[in-house]
Amino acid sequence: MKIKHDNRDVYIYTGGEDYKPGRESVVFVHGAGMNHTVWTLLARYWAKAGYNVAAIDLPGHGLSGGDPAKSIEQNAAFICGVINELKLSEKVNLVGHSMGSLVALEAATALQSIKSLAMLGTTVPMAVGAPLLDAAKKNDQTAVDMISLFGHSFGSQIGCNPVAGISAQRLAERILESAADGVLHAALNACNEYKNGLQAAAKITCPVGLILGEFDQMTPRRTAGTLLKTFPNAREICIPDCGHMMMSEKPEATHHALRKIIEGLL
Amino acid sequence: MPRHIGFDTLMLHAGQRPDPTTGARATPLYQSTSFVFEDSEHAASLFNVGRAGHVYSRISNPTVAVLEERMAALEGGVGAVCTASGMAAIHLAIMTLANTGSHIVASRALYGGTHNLLAYTLPRFGIETTFVDPQDPLQWQAAIRDNTQLFFGEVVANPGCEVLDIEKISSIAHDAGVPLVLDSTLTPPCLIKPFEHGADIVVHSLTKFIGGHGVAIGGCVVDSGRFNWAESGKFTQLSEPYDGFHGMNFVEEFGPSAFAMRARKEGLRDFGASLSPANAFYLLQGCETLSMRMARHIENARVVVDFLASHDAVASVAYPELPDHPDRELAAKLLPNGTTAVFSFELKGGRDAGRKFIEKLNLFSHLANVGDAKSLVIHPASTTHSRMDAASLQEAGISEGLVRLSIGLEDQRDLVNDLSVALKASQKEAIKKGAKS
């Protein structure tokens, strides 16, 4: 569905179900240059399971209008605003991937009723290499290729996707290619510039789960240790043989990991 | 900077990793109609597309899925759907895009079976086709109507070997807001990847070069993931909620893979022309050696073409690498690794000479197939294209004396010797018949 927020169109994927008042919600935040479609399986699952689901396209991404936000903090303010607009403020489970994980983290510090926070493919700080930033700034295809190649484990590049017939790697490439000029760079730059991660993490009291890919080269698992320790109440779930794009690389393992976090089974 | 996994590696590995349960290196043949649910919730989630997995082999199967992912990888597409045959693939692609009242613009140089579908069968369901000269962009442009839903053609046409200017024709299609659907059966992805030139959907008869050994029938539809269905405004079946699947909006929910998902969720579910796991298993064996076989197919074809082109019994050879072929430059640009190994030639001496020629061949098998490891021959006017009337045959560039060859992997000298004997016999027959008359 589309709503107006701050005078711009915002697209929210509800997982195919209408909202019902009083339900817990699951709010999904995608990564740089991506959009709500990276959450389709998970969104449909949680919507059918009785949650109000909002997979939100960040400004300038997917089907949302406006210019891309320049910082993680701006994106987080946008997410909080949309959550309030949708009246999803009771028992919110926040789920973010990559850049979206930082947005979810930052948003979690501002929202009152966070039940859980899931950060997928994450680390703090989330430095982005100059070659990738430069290529993204030029809207060059090599930026897509770098994310595609560094973002998927070798096994996932070979394939064996449980979603029959679909290439997880090519799907990610097409989504990134469909982003408007400047969107990917703005998002990657926001990741690179974000400095508040550990301070934000220290304030989060709800259960937190970090879902990390064993072979993630974009946010390597070994770099997430400080973030993990900074949270008062966090656990890590490692997905074997998986890179950075766990939702499409290992949808079943990601499903089970997220259930543990949202259902309080960590 | 790392690079994408290379073609030959994908040919062997894409879509399959050693079986985690048994360690099997080869793709296991999952000859099972259906797959056990973990529990009721798992079952409900699979039906709701809330989790990934297989339910019933009409819609997806683990062995077939390996072949699908492999074809998507080899063509550079976002996804693929395998079908019971190449014709089923064409039908699935069209039915996913068109509705009653829709219109298609198609090349008139097509495989006879495709021509039948478009010219005779689809009109019964309210889908009309305008056939155009594939080499004339103005004809494609002029044929567009408000209700046109797709362009259809063959990369290299069967059997006349006309080469389609994919960039030009796709540009006209895209300006009209419709996708270009191409049959690339005679030009497997080691020769050309049509998506790199502007095609949107590619169909294959996997029975041919990709399977390559004449043991299994199958087809596939590959989705480039690049056509903007919503922006076109013509494809509400993809961009608006579908009552037949919980109000699913394929464009909104699956983005670049909307077409492939719809083709499976609707087309395989309701039409049911799915590929059997056993055939997928056989086709995968062929796929593993595709580029090596194609190189030899092409090498042998060039030897045979040269032999025929200089033979007194041959009136003409239609092969795009020959200097006098009108598509020579286009073929060299689009297909630098070779055009194809299926082509036709015109025998001197008419129908009787043709009959004698085919009867005298020992190595070439007279049958209705192409793309086999073994060399094949057929007379299109009396077989594959027999349903076409004289005018349609002429439009498709098929004369009554045309002979189609599919060059296999045999020793080149044996192929030439076999043809040489048969050509000699054909001309004797022509002289004999001429003397009698």
> Given this model, what pLDDT does residue A192 score?
98
| Closest Cα in chain B, distance from residue A28 (Å) | 14
pLDDT at B435 over 70: no
DSSP code for A69: P
Token couple for B259: 């077409």
Nearest chain B residue to A46 by CA: give it. B50
Residue where a domain stops, chosen among B286, B321, B352: B286
B71 Cβ contact partners less than 8 Å away, ≥ 6 residues apart: B77, B80, B82, B204, B206, B210, B220, B222, B287
Distance CA B6, CA B73 (A): 10
> Given this model, what pLDDT does residue B261 score?
98
In 10 A of CB A80, how many CB atoms? 20
Going by pLDDT thresholds of 50, 70 and 90, the confidence category of residue B354 is: confident
**A41, A53, A64, A166, best to mutate vs chain B, most B CBs in 10 Å:** A166
Q: Which of B234, B261, B247 is nearest to B80 (CA)?
A: B261
B146, B234: one domain: yes
B257, B210: one domain: yes
Interchain CB distance below 8 Å, A165 and B68: yes
Residue B58 at interface with chain A, using a CB cutoff of 8 Å: no
Going by pLDDT thresholds of 50, 70 and 90, the confidence category of residue B436 is: low
| Closest Cα in chain A, distance from residue B170 (Å) | 19
Show the low-confidence residues of chain A (pLDDT under 50). none
Distance CA A31, CA A103 (A): 9
Nearest chain A residue to B265 by CA: give it. A164
Residue B53 at interface with chain A, using a CB cutoff of 8 Å: yes
Number of domains in chain A: 1
Locate tokens 């543990």: which residue? A260
Reported for A171-174, long-range contacts at CB under 8 A and 24+ positions apart, including other chains, are A171/A248, A171/B78, A171/B79, A171/B225, A171/B255, A171/B256, A171/B257, A172/A34, A172/A147, A172/A148, A172/A245, A172/A248, A173/A144, A173/A145, A173/A148, A174/B78, A174/B225, A174/B226, A174/B255, A174/B256, A174/B257
B33-43 mean pLDDT: 97
B80, B113: one domain: yes
Helix (H, G, I), strand (E, B) or coil at A76: helix
Interchain CB distance below 8 Å, B1 and A158: no
Number of domains in chain B: 2
Q: Is residue B2 part of a domain?
A: no
Which CATH number is B391's domain given?
3.90.1150.10
Interchain CB distance below 8 Å, B73 and A170: yes
A51 Cβ contact partners less than 8 Å away, ≥ 6 residues apart: A23, A24, A25, A26, A93
Helix axes A130-137, A183-193, angle to 10 degrees: 150
Percent of chain B at pLDDT exceeding 70: 99
Dump pLDDT digits (tens) for B149-187: 999 999 999 888 999 999 999 999 999 999 999 999 999
Interchain CB distance below 8 Å, A145 and B1: yes
- Please give the residue range of the domain that contains residue B155: 8-286
pLDDT at B2 over 80: no
Tell me the residues of chain B between 228 and 257 that have a Cβ less than 8 Å away from chain A: 246-248, 252-257
pLDDT at B384 over 90: no
B171, B314: one domain: no
Residue B288 at interface with chain A, using a CB cutoff of 8 Å: no
pLDDT at B437 over 60: no
Task: Name which residue leads in pLDDT, B199 or A90.
Answer: B199
ipTM: 0.96
Residue A14 at interface with chain B, using a CB cutoff of 8 Å: no
B196-225 mean pLDDT: 98
> Given this model, what pLDDT does residue B430 score?
77
Distance CA A247, CA B108 (A): 44
B426, B323: one domain: yes
Mean pLDDT score across all residues of chain A: 96
Q: Is residue B192 part of a domain?
A: yes
Residue A63 at interface with chain B, using a CB cutoff of 8 Å: yes
Distance CA A219, CA B21 (A): 30
Residue where a domain stops, chosen among B244, B262, B286: B286
B82, B182: one domain: yes
**A9, A167, A175, best to mutate vs chain B, most B CBs in 10 Å:** A167
B231, B121: one domain: yes
> Given this model, what pLDDT does residue A105 score?
98
Nearest chain A residue to B4 by CA: give it. A149
Helix (H, G, I), strand (E, B) or coil at A62: coil
B271, B322: one domain: no
B232, B331: one domain: no
CA B415-B417-B420 angle, 5° bins: 110
- What single-letter amino acid sits at B187? T
B276, B215: one domain: yes
Torsion of CA B322, B324, B326, B331, to 10 degrees: 20
| Closest Cα in chain A, distance from residue B260 (Å) | 8
Helix (H, G, I), strand (E, B) or coil at A176: helix
| Closest Cα in chain A, distance from residue B80 (Å) | 5
Residue B435 at interface with chain A, using a CB cutoff of 8 Å: no
Q: Which of A44, A48, A178 shows the shortest C-beta gap to B256?
A: A178
Residue B47 at interface with chain A, using a CB cutoff of 8 Å: no
| Closest Cα in chain B, distance from residue A218 (Å) | 14
A227 Cβ contact partners less than 8 Å away, ≥ 6 residues apart: A119, A122, A123, A124, A197, A198, A201, A210
Going by pLDDT thresholds of 50, 70 and 90, the confidence category of residue B58 is: very high
Distance CA B360, CA A214 (A): 64
Residue B225 at interface with chain A, using a CB cutoff of 8 Å: yes
Q: Is residue B1 part of a domain?
A: no
**B10, B69, B196, best to mutate vs chain A, most A CBs in 10 Å:** B69
> Given this model, what pLDDT does residue A132 score?
97
Contact A27/A86 with Cβ under 8 angstroms?
A: no
Nearest chain B residue to A36 by CA: give it. B253
Residue A167 at interface with chain B, using a CB cutoff of 8 Å: yes
Task: Name which residue leads in pLDDT, A266 or B261.
Answer: B261
Contact B176/B148 with Cβ under 8 angstroms?
A: yes
Token couple for B50: 């809330």
- Please give the residue range of the domain that contains residue A190: 2-262
Residue where a domain stops, chosen among B232, B260, B286: B286
Burial of B320 (0-12, 13-18, 19+ CB in 10 A): buried
Which CATH number is B259's domain given?
3.40.640.10
Give chain B positions within 8 Å (CB) of A166. Answer: 69, 72, 78-79, 257, 260-261
Distances (CA, A) of A21 to A5, A24, A86, B378: 20, 9, 10, 69
- E-assigned strand segments in chain A: 2-5, 8-13, 25-29, 52-56, 92-97, 114-120, 208-213, 234-239
Tell me the residues of chain B between 84 and 103 that have a Cβ less than 8 Å away from chain A: none
Which CATH number is A146's domain given?
3.40.50.1820
| Closest Cα in chain A, distance from residue B31 (Å) | 16
> Given this model, what pLDDT does residue B401 score?
78
B163, B301: one domain: no
Dump pLDDT digits (tens) for B312-321: 999 999 999 9
B305, B356: one domain: yes
SS3 string of chain B? Answer: CCCCCCHHHHHHHCCCCCCCCCCCCCCCCCCCCECCCCCHHHHHHHHCCCCCCCCECCCCCHHHHHHHHHHHHHHCCCEEEEECCHHHHHHHHHHHHCCCCCEEEEECCCCHHHHHHHHHHHHHHCCEEEEECCCCHHHHHHHCCCCEEEEEEECECCCCCCECCHHHHHHHHHHCCCCEEEECCCCCCCCCCHHHHCCCEEEEECCCCCCCCCCCCCEEEEECCCCCHHHHCCCHHHHCCEHHHCCECHHHHHHHHHHHHHHHHHHHHHHCCCCCHHHHHHHHHHHCCHHHHHHHHHHHHHHHHHHHHCCCCEEEEECCCCCCCCCHHHHHHHCCCCCCCEEEEEECCHHHHHHHHHHHCCCCEECCCCCCCCCEEECHHHCCCCCCCHHHHHHCCCCCCEEEEECCCCCHHHHHHHHHHHHHHHHHHHHHHHHHC
- What single-letter amino acid sits at B56? Y
Going by pLDDT thresholds of 50, 70 and 90, the confidence category of residue B352 is: confident
Q: How far is C-alpha A76 from the chain's CA centre? A: 12
Helix (H, G, I), strand (E, B) or coil at A94: strand
pTM for the predicted model, two decimal places: 0.96
B331-359 mean pLDDT: 91
